[in-house]
Amino acid sequence: MSPTHERWTPRFHLAPRQGWLNDPNGLCQFHGTYHVFYQAAPAWPASGKKGWGHFASRDLVRWEDLGEPLVPSIPEDADGVYSGSALVVAGGAPDGGDLLRLYYTGNVKYEGDHIHNGRDANQIMVTSEDGISLSEKKVLLRPKDYPSDLTRHVRDPKVWEQGGRYYMVLGARRSDDVGDVLLYESSDAVEWAYRGRIESRHPFGYMWECPNVIQVDGHDYIVVCPQGLPSEPTRWQNLYQAGYFPLPRGILATTQVDETSFVELDWGFDFYAPQVFKDEKGRCILIGWMGMPDADYTSAPDGLAWCHCLTVPREVTVGEDGLLRQWPVTEIDGLRGFAEPVSPSAGAILPHHCADIELLGIEGNLEMGLDGQLELSFSASEGLLRMAFADEKAASGRTERVLPLTALHELRVLVDGSAVEVYVNHGEEVLSTRWFPTADTLLVTLHASCESARSWEMGGEPPRA
């Protein structure tokens, strides 16, 4: 690995040792261990069928790479093990212990356009009693089990338990090219019956991918990734979006949402396919893919043996306005070294591109730069926070993202190799992006009025075997 490529290797963001990574899958805590599965294509940049990679951790910061436990192996997933979720069933194992169920979409392609014909999407399950060894695959739903008005795009099962019953949502694209979510119900999490669907009042994109259900503090939300929304100057700026609809009546009583209530989860260049789970402490934790499907930017510079990473685990809470907040789990704070001041008029030089930068009590305008390549700026008069690349090489095809913001009080910026996450006003908003620094040290420039500005060098080793 070249020195430059080594600089881009994250220390505390999950990234593959080799190949391509995208959607996080099967997130859970099982027998005290956190499990993060993900879409994996180890042969990248050569072509290859996707399976699931697997990371495991006891503390959300030190991870073990357990390889690729799920790969295409039966006719119903012959062309790819696609995204899905995890369900921990208390007492579900034959010996009375807990059982882990993993659900995913098996992809099969034939001749055709692979949208309206030429594809099968099968929902498949495997189980595990230890989180490592997996059972034989069991096909649960086939195309005949879906409503007749759909295209061949039905995928990404999210399964949860509620009130002694089990429920599954699937992302779908209708034959009239409108996206919605299918809802299934089960008594045993194996045999499923179609219950209905959740759709928008008016068409809102042609496909809703990666549905997830967030239930926190008595509030319900449905997370979806709409494809086909028209990009606008201050919203829907990525090729595809990731966000949520609040569900005041609850997930099971909702059949229609108002598309104007859609809230974007992240305003950066690189965020998609988020998945949530509850850990044994009762926290609602979200992890997203720091990437974007089908985007025309250069997602990794030439010669890099791996591509993409995941966000840090974020705890999701509800604000007084009923909207979601995201904040790095407290375990991330344990990676901090000694605090160093950042001059509000000059900045600081940090020895590595691995830092946690915190600004508190911000007043008025702000300008902040990383290596003179990635810039954050806030205009109080315009009410806009901008993330922009000033250096084309570091940008790797990215340009600018704009966040409407009434006021800026706090910023927390996580820098980790080729990953940057910006938390605004203690997680009211987030901007995530990949970048590819060229300097050996991290130069932070800052021009702002703030009560406190400091940074920590972040420790830890790359999360790899």
C-alpha–C-alpha distance, residues 174 and 207, integer Å = 8
Per-residue CA distances from 271 to 61, 237, 299, 431 (Å)? 20, 12, 12, 8
Contact 389, 395 (CB under 8 A): yes
Helices (H) then strands (E): counts for the chain: 2, 35
**Rounded to two decimals, what is the model's pTM?**
0.97
- Check residue 20 and give its pLDDT: 95
End-to-end CA distance of the chain: 16
C-alpha–C-alpha distance, residues 218 and 146, integer Å = 31
Contact 406, 383 (CB under 8 A): yes
**For the chain, how many residues are written?**
465
Nearest to 224 by CA among 160, 166, 278, 155: 155
Neighbouring CB atoms inside 10 A of 344's CB total 17
Neighbouring CB atoms inside 10 A of 83's CB total 28
> Residues in the chain with pLDDT < 50?
463-465
C-alpha–C-alpha distance, residues 101 and 122, integer Å = 16
- Check residue 72 and give its pLDDT: 98
Token output for 446 = 């800052």
C-alpha–C-alpha distance, residues 12 and 314, integer Å = 13
Element (H, E) at 6: helix 3-7
Contact 93, 129 (CB under 8 A): yes
C-alpha–C-alpha distance, residues 437 and 216, integer Å = 38
Per-residue exposure over 276-295, b if at least 16 CB sit within 10 Å of its own CB, e if not: bbbbeeebbbbbbbbbbbeb
- Check residue 465 and give its pLDDT: 38
Neighbouring CB atoms inside 10 A of 407's CB total 11
Q: Check if 258 is active-site.
A: no
- Check residue 6 and give its pLDDT: 83
Strands 419-424 and 309-310: unpaired
SS3 call for 399:
coil
Contact 123, 140 (CB under 8 A): yes
Pick the catalytic residue from 23, 156, 356, 416.
Answer: 23
Strands 193-200 and 256-257: parallel
Nearest to 249 by CA among 227, 231, 222, 278: 222
Token output for 197 = 């669907």
